[in-house]
Structure 1
Amino acid sequence: MLERLKNLAIPLPEDIQKQEDAGYFAVAQDLIDRRLAGPLPHALRERLELEKNRLIELEGEYPFPYEQAFEMLQGEIRDFTKEEFDELIAENQVDWLYREGKMYFVRHFHENLRKVQHPVTQRLIVPEDAQAAKMKQDVLNGNMRYMKEHGGTAYYIRIRSTLKVGENGRIGEPITVHLPIPNNSPQVKNFRIHTLSPDAFVAPEDAESRTVCFQKNLEAGDEFTVEYSFENHLTYVDPDPDKVCAEQPSFCLEEEAPHIMFTPLIRAMCQEIVGDETNPLLKAKRIYEYVTDRVRYSYVRRYSTILNIPEYAAVNQKGDCGVQAVLFITLCRCAGVPARWQSGLFAAPYDIGGHDWAQFYVAPYGWLYADLSFGGSAHRLGNEERRTFYFGNLDPFRMPANLAFQHEFIPPKQFMRNDPTDNQYGECEYNDRALTLKEYSCEHTMVDIHQIG
């Protein structure tokens, strides 16, 4: 199923593209159906079928018309004016699109302003919790200092993940549910499942997107739950360019359509950033510094609606953790530095939720980490020590479930996933279709976390 996604790199017929650009999605859907009714090259047919689903998702990502979006910000920011709103639009601080000629704003546009600490948020009617924000910084800075002083760290983490189908679930019908669990990433040790339904299948530990799969007839009140624990062991690394080997590996350098592509823009950026540097560690560092400095952190719409994630980041100079990670990976590969995806959960004493980061390979050090969003956040706060730390190192507050970008589950899903890039909040499907995000919920609960080394 995911193999079809490479066809998103194929351009749309121009009449369909024009209708989409103007926001006439129903007209575009009709034009797609007209094309599909006739003979087409197989790849173009798949492209158009994928676009039909993408348009549905895209429209759902932008629910708020201009006036409603403005009123929402008025309710959150003291004395907020339309002039300020228009200025945010001109600054590209809020994401929007046209729907039938009118502006509609992305579902999390107002939350994004708080996340990036835009100056207008200094007038929040309900201020952010300064004590909680300080605690987060203290935890990250304390871990960094500990790892530097002791050469590493280790944590025991126990998590319970529960997925529930909504009240309109099709009771009595077969359903397949996938929930993420840790794979055999190098930092993971002593993985153990504590609670699991007897009808569940646990994917092999080397699965690149590892899940627990439940297959049963849906019953009223069903909760699909897995509770597991593992140890996260990390060694502090201070990589030295002078110790880099002359011979470097040739894996994880390929393009992967539709996202990891060496387009003219990516090649030009790579040349501009890397220049005549030949040391792979310094190449990766230049790319890391570029992304953490130039790409502003920003929530984005669902990845399934973005046709080329690295180019989105490069053109718009913004993106969330995964967008920044894929840009880093793509630029590294273009520069001849092996790089790959890693993602799962950020699982800290104060928070648990989905997160993405990257790895790059430099001999003799092997796989090193790069967390672009954490590094960029430290840079914005003026904490250059922590920015440098996240080039080569990672904190222990992670549950790595995915070691590859856009990889199939075991067993594979029959229908397209809500998040085809990886898996952090579970996926469900009936025998005839996938469930949408509105039809189920997934909650991760931290049962226990404590340092063991």
Structure 2
Amino acid sequence: MSMNQNDDIRYLDIGLPEDIARLKAVGDIDNALRLIDMHLADPNTTAPLAACMRVQREIMLRLPRNYPYTFETAMACIRKDIPDFTEDEFHALEDMNKIGWIFINGERRYFKRFHQTLLKVNADYAARANIKDTGTSQGEDKPTEAVSMLDRSMNIMRERGSFGVHLRIRASIRINDDAFVPGKVVKVHLPIPAKCIQQSNIKLIAFSHEPKHICPEDAPIRTVYFEEKLYENTEFFVEYEYDNIAPYCDTCKLIPAAEQPNDFDTQEQSPHIVFTPYIKELVKELSAGCANNLEKARNFYDFVTTRVTYSFMPEYFCLESIAEGCARNLKGDCGVQALLFITLCRCAGIPAKWQSGFYSAPGDIGYHDWAQFYIAPHGWLFADPSFGGSAHRINNSARRKHYFGNLDPYRMVANSEFQHPLDPAETFWRHDPYDNQGGEIEYDDAAISASSVTKGEQIIELREI
């Protein structure tokens, strides 16, 4: 077994033995865990299969908190917002795969954020709940805006060739008091801005504790690392500032080179960026008639933004085959949609990679993921499928087209690679082994679950430059 549990993640797509898979499918978690432990104690179990089962074991432990509702409690939850919501409506949405559920002990249990998805992406349900503002963290407009902030940003970028903001942000993480153990060493990673195409003038202003390590500016997953023996509970925080200048690119006017590179960022990355038979067939279908890689990438973006519906997701640790799952189920959040776009591009031989951190706009900050793709001789371009999909929902074709090739400046970029280890690596399971937006925290001898931690982000200053 690796000294870092998270190294096992890449074996997740090996799959479970059939008896354990059946138990997991019906939600018999206790017996599934029992059989996994039997296999792990068996010297005949191969190392890759053992790694897969260790990951699956942790997934099964996390599933109940991601799917907490019975039918009765799920109905009560949605009726708090929509009192006249009917059981027939609920079952119809189940049949359309609009309400996520799994079996736990033979009973359907419903996803903890199912109602938030319904209210976010369905205008009729939002109106019945008298919700007028869903925020802009996934590309929606605020009804109080006379002119959409995102449209304004887009228009300025077109007029000037770029648009920038200066941001100062405070990010924090704290163990909840009921989970704090005095006298233990606490190890903390908080994301900080990384140098990239759109970010510069990065300054780390303040820390709660003396950092043990600060990753270089070009690190693929940039953090500040603290390590402290705590006798009293306390908050860890970092405060920083930076400039984000979003360049404008009119992808309709780009002329790709005849020869395109395919020797970087085109590889598979198990378990989620995988060229499955369905992904290969989908790439073949979407690439038909395309003259070059730019046209292919545009078709992939069009597929994700017009066919995939935004949906809140369980924690990524619980997901299997993310890209193919998005292509098959036609739903996913920002990261799931970005991974599908990246996987389609890579399968077609187009370099593509991850970028993530915060969406940080006036009055609105939240975690966000998007993608980059490479077209010679123009270099790395951006694609934000979830913002494009949000524009599609409100019939804003100009904005949807904008987010193929462009972003906006309201971002904090900390990560440029998916599924990259932290520096220094964590010993125990990360809250999110694929990305790092809210930070990670563990004791030196034990994991600390995400439910035992409070994370926060605050915009202290935002001004246009």
**Residue of structure 1 equivalent to 2:137:** none
**Residue of structure 2 equivalent to 1:190:** 201
**Residue of structure 2 equivalent to 1:140:** 150
How far residue 241 of structure 1 moved from its aligned partner, in angstroms, is: 6.3
Of the structure 1 ranges 360-369 and 28-37, higher mean CA displacement relative to structure 2 is found in 28-37
> What per-residue deviation string (whole Å, max 9, x for no partner) do you get for residues 320-356 of structure 1?
0000000000000011111000000000012001000
How far residue 33 of structure 1 moved from its aligned partner, in angstroms, is: 1.2
- Cα distance 1:88–1:136, how it changes in 2: closer, same or farther (>3 A)? farther
The aligned runs of 1:158-177 (5 Å cut-off) are: 158-168=168-178, 169-177=180-188
Question: Which residue identity does 2:235 align to in structure 1?
Answer: E
1:299 equivalent in alignment to 2:344? no
**Residue of structure 1 equivalent to 2:352:** 339
Question: Which residue identity does 1:49 align to in structure 2?
Answer: R
**Residue of structure 1 equivalent to 2:42:** 38
How far residue 3 of structure 1 moved from its aligned partner, in angstroms, is: 3.2
- Please tell me whether the aligned partners of residues 251 and 404 of structure 2 are also in contact (alpha carbons under 8 angstroms): no
> What per-residue deviation string (whole Å, max 9, x for no partner) do you get for residues 368-403 of structure 1?
000000001101110000000000001000000000
Question: Which residue identity does 2:80 align to in structure 1?
Answer: G
**Residue of structure 2 equivalent to 1:19:** 23
1:155 equivalent in alignment to 2:159? no
Report the Cα distance in structure 2 between the residues aligned to 1:99 and 1:349, rounded to whole angstroms.
Answer: 41
Question: Which residue identity does 1:190 align to in structure 2?
Answer: N
> What per-residue deviation string (whole Å, max 9, x for no partner) do you get for residues 79-118 of structure 1?
1111111111112111111111111111111111111125
- Please tell me whether the aligned partners of residues 187 and 233 of structure 1 are also in contact (alpha carbons under 8 angstroms): yes
- Please tell me whether the aligned partners of residues 24 and 99 of structure 1 are also in contact (alpha carbons under 8 angstroms): yes
- Cα distance 1:137–1:265, how it changes in 2: closer, same or farther (>3 A)? farther
**Residue of structure 1 equivalent to 2:125:** 120
TM-score (norm 1): 0.97
What SS class does the counterpart of residue 148 from structure 2 fall into? Answer: helix
Question: Which residue identity does 2:42 align to in structure 1?
Answer: G
How far residue 240 of structure 1 moved from its aligned partner, in angstroms, is: 4.4
> What per-residue deviation string (whole Å, max 9, x for no partner) do you get for residues 115-140 of structure 1?
1125333211x433489445397110
Report the Cα distance in structure 1 between the residues aligned to 2:146 and 2:357, rounded to whole angstroms.
Answer: 19
What SS class does the counterpart of residue 342 from structure 1 fall into? Answer: strand
Report the Cα distance in structure 2 between the residues aligned to 1:32 and 1:137, rounded to whole angstroms.
Answer: 56
Report the Cα distance in structure 2 between the residues aligned to 1:262 and 1:27, rounded to whole angstroms.
Answer: 33
**Residue of structure 2 equivalent to 1:450:** 463
**Residue of structure 2 equivalent to 1:381:** 394
Alignment: residue pair count: 451
How far residue 38 of structure 1 moved from its aligned partner, in angstroms, is: 1.0
Report the Cα distance in structure 1 between the residues aligned to 2:256 and 2:211, rounded to whole angstroms.
Answer: 49
- Please tell me whether the aligned partners of residues 241 and 281 of structure 1 are also in contact (alpha carbons under 8 angstroms): no
Across the aligned residues of Structure 1 and Structure 2, the Cα RMSD in angstroms comes to 1.5
**Residue of structure 1 equivalent to 2:227:** 215
- Please tell me whether the aligned partners of residues 344 and 356 of structure 1 are also in contact (alpha carbons under 8 angstroms): yes
Report the Cα distance in structure 1 between the residues aligned to 2:103 and 2:8, rounded to whole angstroms.
Answer: 28
Report the Cα distance in structure 2 between the residues aligned to 1:414 and 1:5, rounded to whole angstroms.
Answer: 13
The aligned runs of 1:309-324 (5 Å cut-off) are: 309-324=322-337
How far residue 416 of structure 1 moved from its aligned partner, in angstroms, is: 1.9
Question: Which residue identity does 1:237 align to in structure 2?
Answer: C
Report the Cα distance in structure 2 between the residues aligned to 1:95 and 1:344, rounded to whole angstroms.
Answer: 26
- Please tell me whether the aligned partners of residues 241 and 282 of structure 1 are also in contact (alpha carbons under 8 angstroms): no
1:415 equivalent in alignment to 2:428? yes
**Residue of structure 2 equivalent to 1:75:** 80
- Please tell me whether the aligned partners of residues 160 and 447 of structure 1 are also in contact (alpha carbons under 8 angstroms): yes
What SS class does the counterpart of residue 413 from structure 2 fall into? Answer: strand
1:48 equivalent in alignment to 2:66? no
Structure 1 unmatched ranges of 5 or more: none
Of the structure 1 ranges 131-140 and 164-173, higher mean CA displacement relative to structure 2 is found in 131-140
Moved over 4 A (4+): none
Report the Cα distance in structure 2 between the residues aligned to 1:365 and 1:294, rounded to whole angstroms.
Answer: 28
How far residue 258 of structure 1 moved from its aligned partner, in angstroms, is: 0.6
Structure 2 unmatched ranges of 5 or more: 135-140
- Please tell me whether the aligned partners of residues 365 and 457 of structure 2 are also in contact (alpha carbons under 8 angstroms): yes
